[in-house]
Amino acid sequence: MKHRTILWPVSGLLAATVLAATPLAYGTSSTDTPPTASSVSSPSTAPTEGAVMAHMFQWPWDSVARECTDFLGPNGYDGVQVSPPQEHVVLQGEGFPWWQDYQPVSYQLDSRRGDRSDFSEMVATCNEAGVDIYVDAVLNHMTGSGSVESGPGSAGSEFEKYSYPGIYENSDFSECRADISNWDDPDEIRNCELLSLADLRTGEEGVRSTLTGYLNDLIDLGVAGFRIDAAKHVPPQDLEAIVSRLDGDPYVFQEVIEDSAISPAEYTGTGEATDFAYSEELSGTVRDGSLAQLKGINGTEALNSDQATVFVDNHDTQRNDPTLTYKDGDPYNVATAFMLAHPYGTPKVMSSFDFEDPESGPPAASNGMTSPANCEDEDWVCEHRQQPVAGMVEFRSVAAGSGVTDWWDNGNDQVAFGRGENGFAVFNRGADLSRTFQTSLPEGTYCDVASGSVVDGRCTGETYEIDTGGVLSASVASDSVLGLHVGTRL
Ligand code: LM2
Ligand code: CA
Tell whether 386 is covered by a domain: yes
Nearest bound ligand to the CA of residue 233? 2
Tell me the best of 99, 143, 160, 259 to mutate to test the pocket of ligand 1, counting ligand atoms within 8 Å of each CB and taking the most.
99
Residue 229 annotated in active site? yes
Shared domain check, 171 and 28: yes
Shared domain check, 412 and 389: no
Pocket residues for ligand 1 (CB within 6 Å)? 8-10, 99, 102-103, 138, 144-146, 195-197, 229-230, 255, 316
Beta strands in 196-266 (DSSP E): 225-229, 251-254
Shared domain check, 475 and 446: yes
Shared domain check, 467 and 358: no
Ligand 2 centroid, distance to 471 Cα (angstroms) = 55
pLDDT beyond 50 at 262: yes
Q: Report pLDDT digits (tens) over 188-226.
A: 999 999 999 999 999 999 999 999 999 999 999 999 999
Tell whether 4 is covered by a domain: no
Give the burial class of 121: count Cβ atoms within 10 A of its Cβ; 0-12 exposed, 13-18 middle, 19 or more buried.
middle
Tell me the CATH number at 321. 3.20.20.80
User: Of residues 39 and 111, which shows the higher confidence score?
Assistant: 111
Tell me the best of 55, 86, 102 to mutate to test the pocket of ligand 1, counting ligand atoms within 8 Å of each CB and taking the most.
102
Ligand 1 centroid, distance to 199 Cα (angstroms) = 13
Q: Report pLDDT digits (tens) over 160-190.
A: 999 999 999 999 999 999 999 999 999 999 9
Shared domain check, 352 and 424: no
Tell whether 417 is covered by a domain: yes
Cβ-based neighbours of 70, under 8 Å, separated by 6 or more: none
Tell whether 5 is covered by a domain: no
pLDDT beyond 50 at 382: yes
Shared domain check, 152 and 31: yes
Tell whether 189 is covered by a domain: yes
Give the burial class of 49: count Cβ atoms within 10 A of its Cβ; 0-12 exposed, 13-18 middle, 19 or more buried.
middle
Q: What does DSSP assign to residue 72? A: I
Give the other-Cβ count within 10 Å of 375's Cβ: 15
User: What is the number of structural domains in the chain?
Assistant: 2
Pairing of β 458-459 and β 454-455:
antiparallel
Look at residue 291 in the predicted model and tell me its pLDDT: 98
User: For the whole model, what pTM was predicted?
Assistant: 0.91
Quick check: bond before 152 cis, omega within 30?
A: yes
Ligand 1 centroid, distance to 446 Cα (angstroms) = 47
Shared domain check, 446 and 380: no
Three-class DSSP category at 80: strand
Tell whether 36 is covered by a domain: yes
Tell whether 2 is covered by a domain: no
Question: Residue 232 CA: which ligand 1 atom is closest?
Answer: 3
Ligand 1 centroid, distance to 10 Cα (angstroms) = 10
Determine the structural domain holding residue 452 and report its residue range.
Answer: 405-488
Q: What's the average model confidence in pLDDT over 257-267?
A: 96
Tell me the CATH number at 410. 2.60.40.1180
Shared domain check, 355 and 267: yes
Three-class DSSP category at 199: strand
Tell me the best of 195, 352, 355 to mutate to test the pocket of ligand 1, counting ligand atoms within 8 Å of each CB and taking the most.
195
* CA dist., res. 291 & res. 410, Å (int): 9
Question: Can you spell out the DSSP letters for 279-314?
Answer: HHHHHHHHHHT-GGGGTT----TT--GGGEEE-S--
Domain boundary among 338, 365, 399: 399
Whether the CB-CB separation of 6 and 195 falls below 8 Å is answered with no
Shared domain check, 134 and 170: yes
Domain boundary among 399, 430, 452: 399
pLDDT beyond 60 at 9: no
Question: Could you tell me how far CA 444 lies from the centroid of its own chain?
Answer: 36
Shared domain check, 423 and 467: yes
Shared domain check, 45 and 21: yes
Mean pLDDT of the chain: 91
Look at residue 86 in the predicted model and tell me its pLDDT: 98
Residue 383 annotated in active site? no
Domain boundary among 399, 430, 454: 399
Tell whether 1 is covered by a domain: no
pLDDT beyond 50 at 137: yes
Shared domain check, 259 and 166: yes
State the catalytic residue, choosing from 229, 238, 313, 479. Answer: 229
Closest residue to atom 35 of ligand 1, CA basis = 144
Tell me how many helices (H) and strands (E) the chain has. 9, 18
